[in-house]
Amino acid sequence: MPRLQGKRILDVGPRSAHIAGLPYVAFARTEDIEAPRLTFLKPKKGDPDDYVGIETANGKRFALTNTCAANAYGSVRPGDYAYGNPEAARRAFVPLAEALGVGIEEAARQILELSTGKVIKVVMGLIGEYKLDSAGSVLVGGGGGAAALIPFISEKTGFRYHISEKAEVISSIGDALAMVRETVERTIMNPTPEDILRVRIECEQGAMASGALSGTIECYVEVDTVKNRVVATAVGATEFVVKDVAAKKVDDETKKKLAADSMRVRPDEIEVEAGTRYLKVFHARVKKQGLLGFMRNSHNPVRVLDEFGVIRLMLRNGVSFQTVVGETEHVLQEEGAKLTKYTDGGAIIPSAYLLYEARVFDMSGLKTMEEYTSMSRVELQGVAKELPAVIIFSKD
């Protein structure tokens, strides 16, 4: 619910209508919203008393929520789970709009601005932290209220979006469908490749103990030489998730279309550069107009898709090298050396990823070429040397 101070909305507070004990106005009957007036609420003991709702002529009180604002603003569509009674929502926003000295849509927009601003901050932080390609990022909405916020966020950021199938029940079954995630952090002075490997194995075993199937686990290791810290993060699917997607494999043409859509280019503008038996690596060359239209900058987005059309790796600018398992160390050293940058602070090696079979081994958190080759050697122990493999470097 919004918090009101004077002529402005201070914040959209964390208290829900459930906590306040009020029904949502977006799902009220139009005739229930008669002669509404603002009322100030204190949802829980210790809360400020500047939360606002409305009280109608018959004494009923309703909460003004994000869903109500989206219905009043018109950004939620018929058929969406969050779609309610736009006319009732607009009536309910009249007293708030009058208190702010603005129109109904502007009052609703201000609430959505404040709410989505918090989400956008998290989204942009994740994109930066994981070095994602913002041009290819897609917002996926889950939960009953997803359609109330996601379209507005898309409007503000330019990101494409879609609302998940049966989004309204995702919160209820989230625990059953969630990927298992395990993190192990250790403080190690000058960690050796063997130290890093031990942390990684510990993390993978923890993920398996939590229910992840061993063949689905992907582990990312980050080495912070300044803080002498090694952090391993493993993510894997449960048996329930694996069975759920078992019958949804897609053909190569569909994968190409999905990759092109992610890169925002036409399918005929991308190429399959490399791959394994279960993974395909797609590249494109994207040109952008430079300063005053006289120069054109370009980058090479990379997408790795699996059998099910799932994008397993997305890079804004990268290069891939097809090889076999027995030659991966050689490719890592030779091609990695070409892409290494040298500064006053020392060598900066490119982030690297190793693909074989259905595995995407993320080595981007490692700091030296020795760590790359040592970890890849351990990763590929027991794997047939003639199997196809791919090395991908990020050029950002």
Q: Per-residue confidence of the chain (396 residues) as pLDDT tens digits? A: 888 888 889 888 666 666 666 777 777 888 889 999 999 988 888 888 889 999 999 888 898 989 999 999 999 999 898 999 999 999 999 999 999 999 999 999 999 999 999 999 999 998 887 777 777 788 988 888 889 999 999 999 989 898 888 888 776 555 555 678 899 999 999 888 888 888 988 999 999 888 888 777 888 888 888 888 999 999 888 766 566 555 578 999 999 999 999 998 999 999 988 999 999 999 998 876 655 555 567 889 999 999 989 899 999 899 999 999 999 999 999 999 999 988 887 788 999 999 999 889 988 888 888 888 888 988 898 889 999 999 999 988
Distance between CA atoms of residues 189 and 35, nearest Å: 69
What pLDDT score does 241 carry? 59
Distance between CA atoms of residues 134 and 262, nearest Å: 10
281 plus 384 within the same structural domain: yes
Tell which of 95, 114, 133 closes a domain: 114
228 plus 351 within the same structural domain: no
Question: Residue 4: beta bridge partners?
Answer: 9
46 plus 89 within the same structural domain: yes
Q: Are 32 and 92 in contact (CB under 8 A)?
A: no
What pLDDT score does 105 carry? 95
Q: What is the DSSP string of 41-88?
A: E--STTS-S-EEEEE-TTS-EEE--HHHHHHHHT-S-TTSTT---HHH
82 plus 54 within the same structural domain: yes
Q: Which domain holds residue 23?
A: 2-114
How many C-beta neighbours within 10 Å does residue 258 have?
A: 18
217 plus 315 within the same structural domain: no
257 plus 239 within the same structural domain: no
pTM above 0.85, yes or no: no
Tell which of 220, 243, 266 closes a domain: 243
160 plus 190 within the same structural domain: no
Distance between CA atoms of residues 274 and 318, nearest Å: 13
133 plus 105 within the same structural domain: no
268 plus 356 within the same structural domain: yes
What pLDDT score does 31 carry? 86
Distance between CA atoms of residues 114 and 69, nearest Å: 11
Question: Residue 64: beta bridge partners?
Answer: none
CA 275 to chain centroid: 25
Domain count, the chain: 4
189 plus 215 within the same structural domain: yes
102 plus 140 within the same structural domain: no
Q: Are 258 and 308 in contact (CB under 8 A)?
A: no
The SS3 of residue 358 is coil
Tell which of 186, 214, 243 closes a domain: 243
369 plus 337 within the same structural domain: yes
